[in-house]
Amino acid sequence: MTAHTFHPTILREYDIRGIVGETLFAADAEAIGKAFGTRMRRNGGHVVALGWDGRLSSPEMAEALTRGLIASGCTVRRIGRGPTPMLYFAAKVRDADGGIMVTGSHNPPNHNGFKMVLAGRPFFGADIQSLGAIAFAGDFATGEGKAIEDSVFEEYVSRLAQDYDGERDLRVVWDCGNGATGEVLHALVKRLPGTHTVLFGEIDGRFPNHHPDPTEPHNLVALQDKVLTESAHLGIAFDGDGDRIGVVDGEGRILYGDQILVILAEDLLKTQPGATVIADVKASRVFFDEVRRMGGNPIMGRTGHSLIKTQMAETGAPLAGEMSGHIFFADRYYGFDDALYAAIRLLGIVARWDHMTIGQRRDHLPHMVNTPELRFDCPEERKFAVVAEVRARLEAEGADFSAIDGVRVDTMDGWWLLRASNTQAVLVARCEAASPEGLKRLRRTLADQLAASGVSLGPTH
């Protein structure tokens, strides 16, 4: 079969992503289908589940992927349009040997990409690079495959609703951001008690109302306003492909990923005392202290949904999460990041509280002052070297730090983090302290360390 070369920027650490018509084309999708099908065939499998999100380019990419997979001798179970976790669900319940989701996640409308699983495990890092090597060599498997239309929509909605265990009605506002969750959510709320208001539930790949990324506060303004006007108990938002969640309380205040995870962990630890709960290195010290206080075993993990899923499998953790809003339940569920499922579990908890709101529970957490995630440009060839230089200086100083993912440094004031992005030519930093004065000292220390490596902390973006 004919060899194929991908644009050098699209084969990323956790997925494949590019700009449609510039770095990513339907021909690339077909070659990915051939290469992934080849990996799956050589792994002893041949059945692949395929789904796609609501981007304007996704149907064409899905068709091209289907052609490539069929050419490699695979049976393609096309589950249709929906969120990424519905594809993960399909791969599980249809006993597929692998799965591919066509999605640009929360990237701009003219971007698209692919998330993959193989043999029930995340497909990332060296696995993704192997697709490039197979395509470049034209070393594709061949065979006579076929495509089957195989919707799991109703099964997925039923499975989500199955684990709702609330005891009182709630008023909930949902914001789909015109992303891939809209159709599933409309069907799901019909099965839930209470009053549900859905914002921007029409799937529209142009994202006409706001960008579907709930980690950016300005994307939550419409949700916050509606929560207040409806006197809702809480609001829930999803990213473009439904694997990340955002939450606001009844006063319209944002709960961050680690705060959501504390609430979920508190409930889990009632039935699984001593359980391991994983959070990524960006999480607040409050998370680790609270889980420990509640009798759990908090573990700090590396940032990246594929890495967290792998660590969950290795440790047997029933729950994990990231600051970015990826929440992973292996308790009563399948261990992948599913924002719709996380929402169901969260609603169940809130609807079992007799005399407390989610805002009051948030206020009971120790208050810390922190920076947002600071991202600043650093050349690809320098970003990991800068982190290594900072680490060497910290070691020489005898500093208290973790090097799980970059460096996370503990001080009397709090902590600061510096890590290299796995997907962009940027360094990422965050600082957290018990007081504004402590935060200033942490930022100054971080700035000094960066300056020693010839990098300026500002301007950030």
* β-strand pairing of 171-175 with 195-199: parallel
Cα 325 from Cα 21, distance rounded (Å): 30
**What gap in Å lies between CA 345 and CA 413, rounded to an integer?**
34
What stretch of H or E contains 32?
helix 26-42
How long is the chain? 461
Closest CA to 176 of 168, 184, 166, 167: 184
Distance CA 161, CA 342 (A): 11
Query: Which of these, 248, 78, 276, 90, lies nearest to 173 by C-alpha position?
Result: 248
Residue for token pair 């994202």: 207
**CA–CA separation, 13 vs 214, rounded Å?**
22
Query: Is 105 annotated in the active site?
Result: yes
Virtual torsion, Cα 119, 157, 110, 424, nearest 10 deg: -50
Element (H, E) at 295: none
Asked whether the beta carbons of 228 and 237 are under 8 A apart, the reply is: no
d(CA 202, CA 177): 8
CA distance linking residue 280 with residue 242, whole number of Å = 19
What letter would DSSP give residue 219? G
Contacts of 433 (CB under 8 A, 6+ apart): 368, 369, 370, 413, 414, 439, 441, 442
The pairing of beta strand 98-102 with beta strand 111-118:
antiparallel
**Burial state string for 297-330 with b = 16 or more CB within 10 A and e = fewer than 16:** ebbbbbbbbbbbbbbbeeeebbbbbbbbbbbbbb
Residue 455 DSSP label: -
The single residue of 105, 284, 306, 324 carrying the catalytic annotation is 105
**Active-site residue set:** 105
